[in-house]
Structure 1
Amino acid sequence: MVRLLIVDDHVVVRSGLMMLLNGKNNIEVIGEASEGDEAIKKALELRPDVVLMDLSMPHGKDGLTATQELHELLPDIAILILTMHDDEEYLFRAIHAGASGYILKNAPHEDLLAAIASVASGNAYLTPSATRVLMSGYLDRVKNGDTPDTLALLSEREKEVLEWIAKGYSNKEIAEHLVISVKTVESHKSNLMEKLGLKSRPELVKYAMKKGLLHFE
């Protein structure tokens, strides 16, 4: 069962999403929130598998800020952005904030169900137009000799975990150093591999060395 928290400032939208999603494709809607602070509070209380997050919530904390804070507090929770903004800037900011997926509000219902299933299983999901934006932007920068810095995709905590991995510490040792759980370390490691397109610990070590992240006292 995929436990889902819905975050949107419009009551009608939340109600419609609950009616559409609850009980479908093994989804259970366990809560709702109207703005970012409430979303964080509910997520800490209910521990959903997926948070379906709107970006524009003018009467409280916005979705991007809430996404970043939630990703830092609860890295095991997948955050799927559901928005009307088919815009490159919002897309990149959402990914940088730690979102696992990005889908538009005008997407077919089947696509939304597929997106929730995808991020719940630990994979990323991008709506087709978002994928085209990413590929187009990447190719343009490469063509101009400006390869995007993948470090910009990592949170500060992920960079910390990456540095400890590169120094040869085990997950348990990293957890003790950073005063977090082993499960959280493993989640950060998984996020690192997904964001950087790497598949093993040795690849993470090589990447850290290449980026100059190894700092020995």
Structure 2
Amino acid sequence: MTVRILLADDHALFRSGLRAVLDTQPDLECVGEAEDGRAAVAETARLRPDLAVLDVRMPRLDGLAAAEAILAAPGNSTKVLVLTTYDSDEYVYRALRAGASGFLLKSLPPEEMISAMRVAVRGDALIDPSVTKRLITRFTRSIAPPSKPAEVQRLTSREFEVLLLIAAAHSNAEIAERLRVGEETVKTHVSRVLAKLGLRDRVHAAVYAYLHGLVPVSPARGMPSPPPP
């Protein structure tokens, strides 16, 4: 199955470079380009790609507003990956609130960018790791809920363990190895966690775990303390 991708960036050189890389991948196809946010929204509605890759800073409509419009459109099935050269908490927060499947810095090597596109289309949402750690630390310092939300009680002990491992930025393969189970079993657990907590994807599961105080954070590093093996 070929993944259909729309590229939106006001820099033609960046678009052409990324498109050239996509053209080398047998499972990825660039089906359209846009040089501003309004065009990105219109082209997404017209082409219905599997993934729209949006730069944050574009004329007429910025990438975050475009992401919000795309993801709020009735019947939308296009996932959104937001790219930026600016490491901003506000950008990350708006992308998450809109429902974007990923937020990455444009400084990533091309092979990692391509890998991120595949991850986003699969539904395993992601954020640049350094951005995630700082964002989560910022919120956990200001929010301290008194107890676990009621819906967390619906998770089994294994599902809760999987939630904590997601929050610690482990992939399905790493969770499978840690828990000594198969990847398909992990995928089942992840799906049940998302369904029971009413969450869109893994990124929102990680943010949920931190914001509700489910994951202890090390004061020295602002890093999660994953469950013991």
Query: Fold conserved (TM > 0.5)?
Result: yes
Deviations 1:122-175 (A, max 9, x none): 121111112212321233124xx369xx9xxxxxxxxxxxxxxxxxxxxxxxxx
**1:5 — aligned with what?**
6
Letter in 1 for 2:21: L
State the TM-score, normalized to the length of structure 1.
0.65
Q: Which runs of 5+ in 2 are unaligned?
A: 150-194, 207-229
Q: Does 1:193 align with 2:199?
A: yes
Q: Which amino acid aligns with 2:200?
A: E
Number of the residue aligned with 1:63: 63
Look up the SS of the partner of 1:197 in the other structure.
helix
Q: For 1:123 and 1:13, how far apart are their aligned partners in 2?
A: 25
Instruction: Give the direction of change, closer, same or farther, for the CA distance of 1:38–1:89 in structure 2 (3 Å limit).
Output: same
Moved over 6 A (4+): none
Letter in 2 for 1:66: A
Q: Provide the C-alpha distance between the structure 2 equivalents of 1:20 and 1:190, rounded to a whole number of angstroms.
A: 39
Report the RMSD for the aligned CA atoms in angstroms. Answer: 2.5
The one-letter code of the counterpart of 2:65 is T
**Matched residue type, 1:82:** L
| Structure 2 Cα separation of the partners of residues 32 and 78 of structure 1 | 16
Q: What TM-score results when the alignment is normalised by the length of structure 2? A: 0.62
State the alpha-carbon separation in 2 of the partners of residues 22 and 28 from structure 1.
Answer: 7
Q: Following superposition of structure 1 onto structure 2, how do residues 72-83 of structure 1 map, counting pairs within 5 Å?
A: 72-73=72-73, 74-83=75-84
Instruction: Say which SS state the counterpart of residue 10 (structure 2) adopts.
Output: coil
Q: Once the 2 structures are TM-superposed, how far is the Cα of residue 6 of structure 1 from its aligned partner?
A: 0.1
SS in 2 for 1:193: coil
- Structure 1 residues 140, 83: closer, same or farther in 2, change over 3 A? same
Structure 1 pair 71–4 and aligned structure 2 pair: CA distance change class (3 A): same
CA drift at 1:95? 1.0
Which consecutive residues of structure 1, in runs of 5 or more, have no partner in the other structure? Answer: 151-188, 199-217
Query: What is the one-letter code of the residue matched to 1:197?
Result: A
Aligned to 1:154: none
**Distance between the aligned counterparts of 1:193 and 1:95, measured in 2?**
12
Look up the match of 2:18. Answer: 17
Q: How many residues align?
A: 155
Distance 2:84 2:196 in 1: 26
Which residue of the partner structure matches residue 210 of structure 2?
none
- What CA distance in whole angstroms lies between the structure 2 residues aligned with 1:25 and 1:90? 32
Whole-Å separation in 1 of the counterparts to 2:4 and 2:197:
20
SS of 1:65's equivalent? helix
Letter in 1 for 2:77: D
SS in 1 for 2:61: coil
